[in-house]
Amino acid sequence: MTRTFTVPTAQVRIDHHSAVHLAAETARAVARECELPGALPDQAAVIASELATNLDKHASDGTLYVQPLPLGHGVEITAADRGPGMHDPERCLADGYTTSGTLGVGLGAVKRMATHFTMRSADGTDAGTWACARLTATGEQRPEWQGVGAICLPAEGEEGCGDARGIVDTDAARTAVVLDGLGHGRAAEEAAQAALRTFHTDPDRPLPEVVTRMNRALRHTRGAAVGLLRLHHDRADYCGIGNIRALALTPRGVEHRLTGQPGIVGWGMPAPRVHGFPLSQGATAVLHSDGIDARWALDPPLPCSVFRRPCCPPHSPMAIAASATTPRCSRPGHP
């Protein structure tokens, strides 16, 4: 079974050149927490330094996000900004093009250094650039994990986060959860984390049973909104209580929108029900809290970095989990 992190995503706002060093040290620390071997933590620091320097030199309102991979053993470093965008992104990946004032590696070397690297850029009204580098240990490069993204950010000015997210892969299924503790602050965080711990104890149970177990675990907390999404090859099952939304995103737009039943897990919860919906080939299933709206249309792993402000209401925490529906690769001994 593979499971994900429980702490919020680390974020470094690149509003001064001194933030570049902080970004590098943050990436190194997260890589070490992920127990990446050898020189990989230092490589993570170099990647973060290059991306952060580009934000400092060329972008406005840039932020670097660092977290363990949603699935697998590694670290994810994502840079996002609000413009002006790259007129020719491919040229920016050429060796030496972006090295001025940096460690001298450039975006091209970052792409080679990373296990997986994706970059998108746009100019005009929706100007901005998003770059995501994933760095993994040897043997942690399963292709079915590339189509998974997640992020969890606290409210402005707060360190703790009342939202939480998780994604678990087992031989039976892939299951995602998004949680929103009632209110804000420490009490909301405790409720969300209690629900997340309950989820991780047995994520393969039928979804209503998972929610019912959470309800018992949260009786002495503020309670939480809960959304669970179980992915199959051509469909998804959703079970939710409270304002956690599930969507299916395709190249044609959003095909399905579901919201949880009214209620609070831990306080007079109604009997949870499962709602299934089909997933067309190439669809992306998304589960998110009410800290964001639906103004997005990119596939993982990038979407999670663009659910940042201004899409988030002021002072609202947010959590999101997204998974592409490409067929999972079989594992040894499992068809």
Which residue has better confidence, 213 or 298? 213
Q: Average pLDDT for residues 189-211, to the nearest whole number?
A: 97
Q: Which of 84-93, 225-234, 252-261, 276-285 has the lowest mean pLDDT?
A: 84-93
Among 265, 222, 266, 229, which Cα is nearest to 246's?
229
What confidence tier does 170 reach under pLDDT thresholds 50, 70, 90? confident
Q: Average pLDDT for residues 250-260, to the nearest whole number?
A: 87
| Per-residue pLDDT tens over the stretch 103-157 | 445 788 899 999 999 998 888 777 889 999 999 988 776 777 778 999 999 888 7
Could you confirm whether domain 145-324 is CATH 3.60.40.10?
yes
Say which DSSP state 7 is in: S
Homologous superfamily of domain range 10-141: Histidine kinase-like ATPase, C-terminal domain (3.30.565.10)
Provide the mean pLDDT of the chain.
Answer: 84
Task: Say if residue 82's pLDDT is above 50.
Answer: yes
Q: Average pLDDT for residues 15-37, to the nearest whole number?
A: 96
- Give the other-Cβ count within 10 Å of 27's Cβ: 30
Task: Say if residue 188's pLDDT is above 80.
Answer: yes
- Whole-model pTM: value is 0.86
What confidence tier does 227 reach under pLDDT thresholds 50, 70, 90? very high
Between CA 123 and CA 129, with CA 127 as vertex, the angle to 5 degrees is: 95
pLDDT at 2: 58
Q: Is 225 helix (H, G, I), strand (E, B) or coil?
A: strand
Rounded Cα–Cα distance for residues 54 and 45 (Å): 14
Amino acid at 327: P
Domain ranges of the chain: 10-141, 145-324
pLDDT at 335: 35
Rounded Cα–Cα distance for residues 171 and 330 (Å): 9
In the numeric block, which tokens belong to residue 192? 């969300």
Q: Is 174 helix (H, G, I), strand (E, B) or coil?
A: strand
